Amino acid sequence: MSRSADELRPDSPIKDLADEAAAQLLQELAEIIAYHDARYHTADEQTEPEISDAEYDALIQLNRQVEAAFPGLMRPDSPSVRVGIVPAGNFAKITHALPMLSLGNAFDADDLSDFTARIRRFLSLPEDSPLEMTAEPKIDGLSLSLRYEKGKLIYAATRGDGTIGEDVTANIRTLNEVPDILAGEIPDVFEVRGEVYMRRSDFAALNSEQEKQGGKIFANPRNAAAGALRQKDAKITASRNLRFFAYAAGALSDPVSDTHKGFLDRLSEAGFSVNPLTALCRNETELLAHYQKIASLRPELDYDIDGVVYKINRHDWQERLGQVSRAPRWAIAHKFPAEQAETILRDIEIQVGRTGALTPVARLQPVLVGGVTVSNATLHNEDEIRRKDIRIGDSVILQRAGDVIPQIVRVRTEKRSEGAAVFIFPETCPICGHPATRPEGEAVRRCTGGFECEAQSREQLKHFVSRDAMDIDGLGSQLIDLFYDRGWIKTPADIFRLPEKRDEIAALERMAEKSTDNLCRAIEAVRTPPLEKLIFGLGIRQIGQATAKLLASRYQSLEALMQACQNAADTSHPDYAELTAIDQIGTSVTDDLVRFFTARQTAPMIADLLAHTTPVPPEAPSADSPVSGKTIVFTGTLEKRSRSEAKAQAEKLGAKVSGAVSARTDILVAGPGAGSKLKKAEELEIEILSEEEWLAFITGHNG
């Protein structure tokens, strides 16, 4: 990956290039520049970028010249507008005292009603009982956690993966809206969460200055804010005029207020900016009215927003509601409708994903939607193509919302030309040729090749090394492809054998000695991965990060998980009941787990992987609680808490909640109307508690 701008520059004037040659050159430049960006970004102290700043600038310059001569060929991943070109590397990692959550989405009034109904059900509140909520703009920036101790700023951390972020304290100290010392009575530990953003006016000024200087042009204020935040030199951050809105609490040593609104008022008193469009609402009508008001003000605001966040006002309710996967149950983001544009569908291609799903992808005439050039869109599946009657050559309406993959909303059939071609969906995998089948009742057609399908195993490897899984720095998708092509990696365990090939890797055209050593070091560094990351990395269908975490804390080892899933192939085995009863794991997820762990290739693959790694199980939650590690079954009617709240509460205290009574059950909590489970528990002489006794038993433990 060492070609310079001089080597790439064509002999004839750029404007005389044929379209194909220009497109080819842009593609090559995008790849080379991305490669150097990645080197620069992941650089540690011993690493220097492979090329000088001047050589890098020459590549950027050449890219700009080609784009200027062929504006229609500008790529969606063009280096001149690309997201996250991060000029500086080294930020220390910080583990958040409490995870930084994301938000569930609502798109209309029905979604909002579902949300409030869910909350009432969870809290066992009567329908139509009062439910005070706040409504505030959802700022389109970067979330940040600020930790104050005894009123002094100790650190500022980015969200990262929600658990571990990056230490950006030095840069954040330059922001006027982040006080170094807080005013008033503040608990000893006081964490404030909020959004760093750049004003639209500052963004416009920055881009016009960058253009004059021949610097990087940012796609939107959010990307510009990200760039400003990740500077090595805090003076540059200071010059970019970043802003901060505070909107939530992290860890607090003492409560500050009974309500969210009260907390925001305390934040203002302490010296933070709180968004002035925050309102306290008594019901859904008021929430929706405030949503409309914010939507109508949106064009005039000097900052980007992408929706309105609704939050339950009472903190005790927030606490009881807790979170599900990575989002709180007590808040939701009501998103603004997506932006639309019209373009031509040039072709449909089939991509084969990690789980074998054949996904049709629309290749489009590039078009600007909401400030970003889009040239691909997902078509989901074959039914979607048929339902929308999408044909190659059609004029289509495209929609893009936030970071979501663009979609085709509809076809402008009135513009359809005679040549528009119906797409025939393949029934064999276009990559490996195995049959692609579609089980009854499912929308997706899948390749049956498993690990034998090259596309699946490549995608699986990319997933395995990705940030939320094993997080192997510097091993991106291009390198995976390269190593795969050479036959060096096929299964996850092969990655751990790569360091044995150090010299062969270093000899590859695009690899330098230093980057090879960095790669080997990054691989060595993940030989003791958190168990949940390893489980997530296996890429089992329906097993996302949250479920992987549940499985890791329940089973504490990959061997135990595999054993349980193999036992569960027999649905009368207690392990089946235990799996299906874990919060958020039902029969369908259990079936996928069983399918994965009983597949012919799985056991040897796992054994090989465990020969190279020693996964670290998560800490068992609240080991000091009286129910930690115990298996609880709830039966009958619960009167004080809904079934889901009781279950969530028990799990928070480290208990396993099961749906069936067996010899492994420790406690049965029985409400009125309990039947066969109660009888079975009596036979097995299992401890039986009423709901009241249960609540008394666990009080004082976050109950």
Contact positions vs ligand IVH (CB under 6 A): 101-103, 136, 138-139, 143, 195, 247-248, 309, 328, 331, 333
Say how many Å lie between the first and final Cα of the chain, rounded: 58
Helix, strand, coil % in the chain, rounded to nearest 5: 40, 20, 40
- The answer to whether 169 and 155 have CB atoms below 8 angstroms apart is yes
What is the CA angle 172-177-180, rounded to 5? 60
Query: Exactly one of 138, 335, 549, 647 is catalytic; which is it?
Result: 138
DSSP state of 661: -
Paired tokens of 117: 């109904």
Closest separation in Å from C-beta 175 to ligand IVH: 16
Asked whether 100 and 159 are in contact (CB, 8 A), the reply is yes
Nearest CB to ligand IVH, comparing residues 75 and 320: 320
Nearer to ligand IVH, 102 or 373 (CB): 102
Q: Which residues pair with 364 in a beta bridge?
A: 345
* Residue 6 CA from chain centroid, whole number: 39
Nearer to ligand IVH, 31 or 161 (CB): 161
Taking alpha carbons only, the member of 528, 531, 450 closest to residue 490 is 450
Q: State in angstroms the smallest separation of the CB of 415 from ligand IVH.
A: 37
CB of 508 to ligand IVH, least distance (A): 39
**Toward ligand IVH, which CB reaches closer, 300 or 403?**
403
| Nearest to ligand IVH of 317, 634 (CB atom) | 317
Residue 155 contacts by C-beta under 8 Å, 6 or more apart in sequence? 94, 146, 147, 167, 169
Residue nearest to ligand IVH (CB): 143
* Residues with Cβ within 8 Å of residue 182, at least 6 apart in sequence: 148, 151, 152, 190, 270, 271
CB of 120 to ligand IVH, least distance (A): 20
419 φ/ψ sector (left φ>0, alpha ψ -120 to 50, else beta): alpha
Query: Judged by CB, which is closer to ligand IVH: 99, or 586?
Result: 99
Closest contact distance (angstroms) between CB of 216 and ligand IVH is 24
**Locate tokens 């038993």: which residue?**
697
Catalytic residue flag (residue 138): yes
Strand partners, 157: 145, 167
Q: Which of 402, 404, 401 is nearest to 140 (CA)?
A: 402
Alpha helices (H) in 70-173, listed in sequence order: 109-122, 169-172
Between 144 and 369, CB nearer to ligand IVH: 144
Least Å from the CB of residue 368 to ligand IVH:
24
Could you tell me the smallest distance in angstroms from the CB atom of residue 250 to ligand IVH? Answer: 9
* DSSP at 620: P
Contact 642, 121 (CB under 8 A): yes
* Residues assigned a catalytic role: 138
